[in-house]
Amino acid sequence: MAKSAPQSSVSPRDHTVNVLRAILKRIPFARMISEEEIRRDHLLQLQLWRDSAESRQRPALAPFRRKWRRFNLAVELHLASAVSPASWPESNLPVAHSSLTLAEGFRKAKAIFKDSIYSIYCVGGNTTRIEPLLGCDSIVVFEKIGPGTISRQPLQRGDIVISHSDGVRSLQRITRLDENRQEFTAHQVYQGAISSIERRLVAVFYTGLPAPTEWTCDHTNQPTLLTRSWDDVVFRPSRGDKPTPHSGVALWGTELDRARRVFPSSTYTIWTTVPNTNSMEPLLDTNTAVIFETLTEQALRHQPLQLGDIVTWHTPAVRGALHRIVGRSEDGTSFYIKGDNCWWGDSLESRSLIPQRFITRRVVALIYGRQMHEDD
């Protein structure tokens, strides 16, 4: 007499759950990745590059050439007096933030930039020299440099790249390319071979304020990157050309389609370009897609407006602007707002303070695309 098959103690429902769990484990990042894992396994740790060019002391300023110091910039006093209330701090301009948590920002970046040419990191270490572009807990996306990416978008002035030379990896901003495109200059002082460039910045996702302002991880799987001071040569307001970063991403292509699915229109707004006013160079320009969050009560509870946040403001009678918060009133209900490349601050009815009720959106992410104009 044939023996009957043993009865399984697992119910059909539990069996289905186990199968789904097994499938999800095979899907990269389908599970909830923790902030600790992100900082441990996907850290881009920055360290200051100390060399003779940076260690030289700057000459003392003559008494009649007094300067106003603002986010490590030397600006003529008479030009800055209109936008330098006493309440503004005398420190580096902070990086932007949003209501996204670190894990949310990382998962959204992964969902948009899922192709193998992209690498996604969480920024850590010492970021004081490259703020306000990047800060601790910013999520950054880099594309691998190869024939495909270069054919879509050649390297240009303003590109932010990771180069590898003499066993050292460094984060550089290209300021000049030679005629044969064999060498590049960065920060006016560093010269390197184009062949040493490994990756190029594609996107930045801003998250909420990190718990520590500067932290490092001793067990990171990623190399430490050296970075030079950018502020004196990049973030000083000027009338000259200050190109923004570029990448091989098409701002009308697959990545932006994915971004629209990841950031629903009920809560977020996506601009695939910005007006060519140059007011926020070199952070963003016409080749930059900008993702905003609507400043609802919930978003402000998760992350109140902070110095450094990039926002849009307008009134029924005034068009307003896409600029950065650089100061606030004593009661915290109004803000000083200014473009990074402007000598003057925004004003409303001859007043330099903009009430919070007129600030409608905050930048969550920047996606750099292909060059659209010669001065991008």
Residues facing 144 on adjacent strands: 199
Nearest residue to 119 via CA among 133, 139, 134: 139
* Residue range 323-335: mean pLDDT, rounded: 89
* Residue range 8-27: mean pLDDT, rounded: 68
Q: How many CB atoms lie within 10 A of CB 268?
A: 17
Taking the mean position of all CA atoms in its chain, how far away is CA 140?
Answer: 7
Please indicate, yes or no, if residue 174 is contained in any of the structural domains: yes
What pLDDT, on a 0 to 100 scale, did the predictor assign at position 83?
33
Q: Are strands 224-227 and 168-177 parallel, antiparallel or unpaired?
A: parallel
Give the side-chain half-sphere CA count within 13 A for 310.
25
Please indicate, yes or no, if residue 13 is contained in any of the structural domains: no
Number of separate domains in the chain = 1
Q: Is the pLDDT confidence value at 74 over 50?
A: no
The mean pLDDT value of the chain amounts to 78
* Residue range 340-362: mean pLDDT, rounded: 88
What pLDDT, on a 0 to 100 scale, did the predictor assign at position 316?
84
Q: Which residue is associated with the tokens 């006016």? A: 188
Please indicate, yes or no, if residue 201 is contained in any of the structural domains: yes
2 confidence band (pLDDT: 50, 70, 90): low
Q: Is the pLDDT confidence value at 120 over 90?
A: yes
Please indicate, yes or no, if residue 278 is contained in any of the structural domains: yes
* Residue range 268-297: mean pLDDT, rounded: 92
Q: Is 308 left (phi over 0), alpha (psi -120 to 50) or beta?
A: left
> Model confidence over 139-169: pLDDT tens digits?
999 999 998 889 999 999 999 999 988 888 8
- Alpha-carbon distance of 266 to 283, in angstroms, equals 26
Please indicate, yes or no, if residue 337 is contained in any of the structural domains: yes
* DSSP conformational letter for 345: B
> Model confidence over 93-118: pLDDT tens digits?
778 999 999 999 999 999 999 999 99
Tokens representing residue 24 in the block: 């999800």
What pLDDT, on a 0 to 100 scale, did the predictor assign at position 345?
87
> Regarding predicted confidence, which is higher, 376 or 258?
258
Q: Is the pLDDT confidence value at 48 over 90?
A: no
Please indicate, yes or no, if residue 12 is contained in any of the structural domains: no
State the residue range of the domain holding 340.
Answer: 35-52+65-368
Cis geometry, peptide bond prior to residue 132 (ω within 30 degrees of 0) = yes
Please indicate, yes or no, if residue 221 is contained in any of the structural domains: yes
What pLDDT, on a 0 to 100 scale, did the predictor assign at position 228?
62
Residues facing 123 on adjacent strands: 44
What pLDDT, on a 0 to 100 scale, did the predictor assign at position 85?
35
> Is the CB of residue 238 less than 8 Å from the CB of residue 341?
yes
- State the helix-helix crossing angle for 102-112 and 254-262, rounded to 10 degrees: 140
- Whole-number percent of the chain with pLDDT over 90: 38
Q: Is the pLDDT confidence value at 246 over 80?
A: yes
Cite the DSSP H helix spans in the chain.
12-26, 35-41, 52-55, 77-80, 102-112, 147-152, 231-234, 254-262, 297-302
b/e 90-99 (16+ beta carbons within 10 angstroms → b) = eebbbbbbbb
Tokens representing residue 247 in the block: 């990448």
Please indicate, yes or no, if residue 266 is contained in any of the structural domains: yes
